[in-house]
Structure 1
């Protein structure tokens, strides 16, 4: 009697394997998805139809551009306006849209599409994009947006907010192009491009003239700033504000810390640029007080992850470049289109420092007590971020013997913080350097917390406590 071997459809078996991988190691699965997207868009950009010349793009340039797009960074090694064909530019914009969703949220959505349900593991995965500690603590967080029951609403907010904000900004930009006599189809395309690049905090410019024609256009630059700020706040903040915009007392601690720290950094950055660049006519100096203040604010906003610039950022004074380094390293809000160590991370560190200076036993903010494990996570993020930047700088300085440390550090931090501003160093990179900076962008976008969770297959539970002893610090 012959044995019957039951075979299931390939699609069903593939879906089951997909769900199994997602449930076993959610963080690793998210990284696999992210790497897969970079590989996919690298392959697409390597096609002859993607370049204006009709020739196959160099592998290093295709990989760098795909990584920069998926990581919503904005750094480039080729002229975006002349090197890539219109089809190639569309593919790049599509890559930025996928990358803007976030590695964890994107993996959750793909898991939902394939498995046709959002199970507990997928909910944990999406919650981890809102609060990385959810990956370690079963998705339990203090933020309303991080509760498992609201993850479905968060995913809907991600899609709806991206669509609505980008469409509204594009429609507001459209008259600006039409007034100049630009053909309607071209004006609509440019409006959509700039809107998408602003909200995703990418900063790609597909025009040969760049932002030079709009360097003094307050209306156009203000729309870019609005898009960058909304994208950089983070989807959890947008989610919370969409529900309780008029009721600040119901905002979570995460929302309050993000809004407060973001505002403070915008103001401090603008004041710093006004003071440091007032006499530098190559950048924003030599203008009236009003123009100087506006351009300083624009630069302060863009350094956080926007990537747009009305002048060559390599012309900044060295002191201003250092300020820019710090702002780019901090980045924007958690689970946003911005990169960096995130504003809440730096806020936690300052809160801990103030608590220690005052002799307080606990960290408190907005009448809430912050657990100690949040501080440990913040310190870990900063240390891993600083280590990534340091190693990348060392390798690039070794590869590019004639490179200047200031320029290398500037572009490496821009890559890690997915800012997209450049001192001009990226344009001089040879192929090995392009691969190194691509890895830096990848590390900066996926987040050090996600990477750490992916590398740790399981957490050890220590069933004993060792004797306590205090080392000398400081």
Structure 2
């Protein structure tokens, strides 16, 4: 047992922690009290739902609002909150409450979880994260509760408001609207659209970025990481909003019937939600192929490092684009905001992106075998959505075979923890090579 504990590096602890949390959630969702019909879910469906909630994805095999009792919904909401912020965040908070000091190993685990560059003041960062989360989710919950109170009883409106606020801040995308319709009833409602967009963006920026922005008045410094995350996020949202507006403008099943304001709100929301949120105001199956392909691209990129979002992350995308541009211009160095990007970061970005591409390709290939009878874009869309922990679906998820569900469960798990984290967790520690091979040259392009 002692050797087992010693061999648990931070990455392995994160993987095991998430796995245990998922299994506990799956067990609770199989209980009769968890569903409206008093029968509970089958273990596979419960495992799928628990994985989707813990990995803050939002893909569902049964409709959340129609299937689960309040107990089941609260289990899902708890998994979303713990999975979104990370179980180590809550453990640190509890340790602080009881006066237990945070050990160096625990600080390293938290550093791994948040993709932080240092273990210094990591406990203070956790406190700030929890405070910020409570404030953001409360403000979002209050606004949504007020809006929903016009459509339902006040008690239900408050419950719905805070459920959707927590779900979307954590980029989970679970909803209680019923019939798999998500937020399509509010496609042109500025209160719902703008509030949910704001929650998704805040949750997807990354807590390191949020902390730097909060401390800017005192420090007057913004790191390269924060500059890259903010600039890339704004560029993707604005660019995607314009393209979706153009692609769907004349589509009678999506933006076509809406007013100019409604069209703008619909395009904005659909440019934000692929950051790995999963809620949707436009019917996914009715989108043009151009919009679907753009959505797949955005889902694959995801949000910021150390956030509730998935995907390869916007920093990875930015580094790869900067590298390509530098090579095309014949420059030796890769530069972002007048800072030279080190080779290690470039190689890591390339590894993350290639790992993601290979995972999506393999999952798409398997789904095309196990789930025959659908258009290819459905398989690609579902695989990318699961890897990016997005939760958007064109309707394939509820129809998945048992094998298909297991494949998506594994994909969501890998997508949430990240290919590199899982790779380090199952591999041995790096060893310094005793010798190096002579250099070789290969023709590229």
TM-score, normalisation: structure 1 = 0.88
Structure-1 separation of matches of 2:154 and 2:235: 40
- Cα drift, residue 21 of structure 1: 2.4
Contact persistence 2:92–2:123 (CA under 8 A): no
Aligned-partner SS, 2:335: strand
Deviation at 1:112?
Answer: 7.6
Correspondence for 1:160 among 128, 131, 134: 131
1:119 counterpart (84, 103, 113) = 103
C-alpha displacement at 1:382, in angstroms?
A: 0.8
Q: Does 1:77 align with 2:61?
A: yes
Match of 1:223 in 2: 195
> Per the alignment, in what secondary structure is the counterpart of residue 101 of structure 2?
coil
Equivalences for residues 127-146 of structure 1 within 5 A: 127-131=111-115, 146=117
Aligned counterpart, 1:63: 47
Equivalent positions of 1:69-108 (< 5 A) are: 69-102=53-86, 105=89
Map Cα deviations across residues 65-119 of structure 1 (whole Å, 9 max, x no partner): 0000000000111111121111100110011001101366567668889993322
Partner of 2:157: 187
Q: Following the alignment from structure 1 to structure 2, what is the Cα–Cα distance between the partners of residues 450 and 107?
A: 20
Runs of 4+ in 1 over 4 A off after TM superposition: 103-115
> Could you tell me how far apart the structure 1 residues matched to 2:124 and 2:297 are?
34
In terms of Rg, which structure is larger? 1
CA pair 33-112 structure 1, distance change in 2 beyond 3 A: farther
2:210 aligned with 1:238: yes
Correspondence 1:206 to 2:176: yes
Q: CA offsets, 1:20-55, max 9 Å, x none?
A: 727741111110111000100000001010011111
Q: State the match for 2:367 in structure 1.
A: 396
Alpha-carbon distance in structure 2 between the residues aligned to 1:225 and 1:245: 25
> In structure 2, what is the equivalent of residue 197 of structure 1?
167
Q: Which residue among 28, 49, 70 is the counterpart of 1:44?
A: 28
* Alpha-carbon contact 1:282-1:315 (below 8 Å) kept: yes
Judge conservation of contact 1:23–1:122 (CA < 8 Å) in 2.
no
Which sits farther off after the overlay, 235-244 or 110-119?
110-119
Query: Secondary structure of 2:40's match?
Result: coil
**Counterpart check, 1:261 vs 2:239:** no
Q: How far off is 1:246 after superposition?
A: 8.0
In the TM superposition, residue 440 of structure 1 has moved relative to its aligned partner by: 0.8
Question: What runs of 5+ residues in structure 1 fail to find an aligned partner?
Answer: 1-13, 132-144
- After superposition, residues 249-398 of structure 1 pair within 5 angstroms as 250-398=221-369
Say whether the 8 Å CA contact 1:112–1:122 is kept in structure 2: no
Q: 1:28 and 1:187, CA in 2 relative to 1: closer, same or farther beyond 3 A?
A: same
Whole-angstrom CA distance in 2 between matches of 1:403 and 1:276? 23
In structure 2, distance between residues paired with 1:290 and 1:162: 30
Secondary structure of the 1:148 match is coil
2: CA distance, partners of 1:311 / 1:119: 47
Deviation of 1:468 after TM superposition, in Å, equals 2.1
Partner Cα distance (1:453, 1:226) in 2: 34
**1:416 alignment partner, one of 367, 384, 387:** 387
Cα offset, 1:432, TM superposition: 1.7
1:285-335 deviation line (CA, Å, top 9, x unaligned)? 343433322211110001111211123201111121111100000000011
Shift of 1:277: 1.2
Cα distance in structure 1, aligned partners of 2:176 and 2:150:
20
Bigger mean CA offset, 104-113 vs 397-406: 104-113
Q: What residue number does 1:141 align with?
A: none
Tell me the residue number matched to 2:119.
148
**CA shift in 2, pair 1:114/1:43, >3 Å:** farther
From the superposition, tell whether residues 105 and 347 of structure 1 become closer, same or farther in structure 2 (CA, over 3 Å). farther
Secondary structure of the residue aligned to 1:444 is helix
Q: Distance in 1 between matches of 2:227 and 2:149?
A: 39
Which residue of 2 is the match for residue 142 of structure 1? none
Give 3-state SS (helix, strand or coil) of 1:419's partner. Answer: coil
Assess, with a 3 A threshold, how the Cα gap between structure 1 residues 376 and 236 changes in structure 2: closer, same or farther: same
The TM-score, its normalising length taken from structure 2, stands at 0.94
Distance (Å, rounded) in 2 between the aligned partners of 1:353 and 1:106: 40
Provide the C-alpha distance between the structure 2 equivalents of 1:119 and 1:257, rounded to a whole number of angstroms: 32
**CA 114–255 in structure 1, closer or farther in 2 if over 3 Å, else same:** same
Aligned pair partner of 2:143 in 147, 169, 172: 172
- Counting matched residue pairs gives 443
Secondary structure (helix, strand or coil) at the match of 1:355 reads helix
